[in-house]
């Protein structure tokens, strides 16, 4: 059944959620990636892996970018492959902020964050193996404005590459969420302290990107109560107020959707508040089975449901759930490795059954 929302219109209610796959050699999208996304065009909407809007945003090895002409040309075969089946595709803009290591960045780039507080833990690098996260440089006011400008330019590049829109990654401990979280955000300027100030960066990015490419082409992913990226939890009432205010402001902007990573720690009260404040499309994802997703849609808690690893290991996931076919297991050893193995070589159903 098609989904006809106020802004977002899709051929079905199924979303392929963004997943880091680390196949962009030299940070350039390639033909292998076009094959991968093209295989999965049964979804109504595909949201790509996190893609860097600027050189300092390349926290992970082999992470694609969207800040050069070469990146734009590299992404064009991807969007062409996906559009062949009437699927829409949004590019996820992911500035990793403090979640990165200088060994993964271009030589003249510096790791930056909302503050100079480093994340605890380690990051894989192709050149040095596992390393402690680098200490970020706290963004100045001028630096914040430069980052916002990089989001705008990246969004315009995405449209030039054929994408239907962009998703701002405000989840999983990356830069936008670093601004939201008071345990990481120790700023004393207009981007820190109060809830309104900590939400300001996310709203300014969403507003200015919407002004550049259109509000109907902008979504955002959030993860209330997430502890990924060394995010320590904070007061439950403050969390609720933070995401209620964020949802209200995003509703004022009229963007296409909010995409919620529904981790087990998200209180129902927070989800209800977002649903109440935001009148656009809501996507829920993270760990849903097809059966649980159907319940989510029938109750109206979400308008669309995203699937990650099910799409990773089942290129024909939509066709499989339509006929109740078994799903391929995920090969966890090849999720982030370079090459086709564990990427484009998962089997699909054939007329005679499973290949």
Q: Which residues are catalytic?
A: 174
CA distance 162 to 257: 19
DSSP 130-155: EEEPPPPEEPPHHHHHHHHHHHHHHH
* Largest CA-CA distance found in the chain, in angstroms, rounded: 64
- Enumerate the β-bridge partners of residue 166: 91, 218
- 183: helix, strand or coil: coil
Question: Which of 241, 268, 136, 133 minimizes the C-alpha distance to 182?
Answer: 241
CA distances from 41 to 22, 46, 97, 133, 318 (A): 20, 7, 31, 35, 9
How would you label 49-80 residue by residue, b for 16+ Cβ within 10 Å and e otherwise? bbbbbbbbbbbbbbbbbbbeeebbebbebbbe
Residue 169: strand, helix, or coil: strand
Instruction: Find the radius of gyration of the CA atoms of the chain.
Output: 19
Q: 243: closest CA among 198, 192, 190?
A: 198
Tokens of 99: 């979640």
Cα separation, 127 vs 104, in Å, equals 8
Cβ atoms of residues 276 and 298 within 8 Å: no
């Amino acid at each position: 059944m098609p989904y006809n929302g106020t802004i977002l219109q899709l051929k079905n209610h199924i979303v392929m959620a963004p997943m880091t796959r680390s196949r962009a050699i030299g940070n350039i999208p390639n033909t292998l990636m076009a094959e991968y996304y093209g295989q999965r065009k049964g979804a109504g909407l595909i949201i790509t892996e996190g893609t860097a809007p600027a050189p300092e945003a390349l926290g992970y090895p082999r992470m694609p970018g969207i800040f050069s002409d070469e990146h734009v040309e590299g992404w064009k075969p991807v969007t062409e492959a996906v559009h062949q089946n009437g699927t829409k595709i949004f590019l996820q803009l992911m500035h990793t902020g403090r979640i990165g290591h200088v060994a993964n960045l271009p030589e003249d780039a510096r790791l930056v964050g909302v503050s100079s507080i480093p994340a605890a833990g380690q990051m894989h690098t192709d050149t040095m193996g596992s390393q402690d996260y680098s200490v970020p440089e706290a963004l100045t006011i001028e630096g914040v404005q430069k980052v916002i400008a990089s989001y705008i330019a990246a969004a315009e590049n995405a449209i030039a590459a054929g994408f239907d829109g962009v998703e701002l990654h405000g989840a999983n401990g990356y830069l936008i969420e670093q601004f939201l979280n008071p345990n990481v955000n120790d700023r004393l300027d207009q981007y820190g302290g109060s809830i309104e100030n900590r939400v300001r960066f996310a709203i300014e990015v969403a507003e200015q990107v919407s002004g550049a490419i259109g509000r109907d082409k902008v979504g955002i992913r959030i993860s209330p109560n997430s502890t990924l990226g060394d995010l320590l939890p904070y007061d439950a009432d403050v969390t609720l107020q933070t995401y209620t205010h964020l949802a209200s402001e995003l509703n004022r902007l009229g963007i296409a959707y909010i995409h919620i990573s529904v981790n087990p720690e998200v209180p129902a009260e927070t989800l209800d508040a977002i649903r109440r404040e935001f009148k656009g499309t809501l996507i829920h994802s993270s760990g849903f089975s097809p059966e649980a997703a159907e319940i989510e849609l029938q109750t109206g808690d979400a308008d669309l449901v995203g699937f990650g690893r099910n799409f990773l290991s089942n290129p024909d996931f939509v066709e499989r759930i339509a006929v109740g076919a078994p799903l391929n297991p995920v090969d966890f050893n090849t999720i982030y490795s370079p090459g086709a193995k564990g990427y484009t070589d998962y089997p699909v159903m054939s007329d005679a059954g499973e290949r």
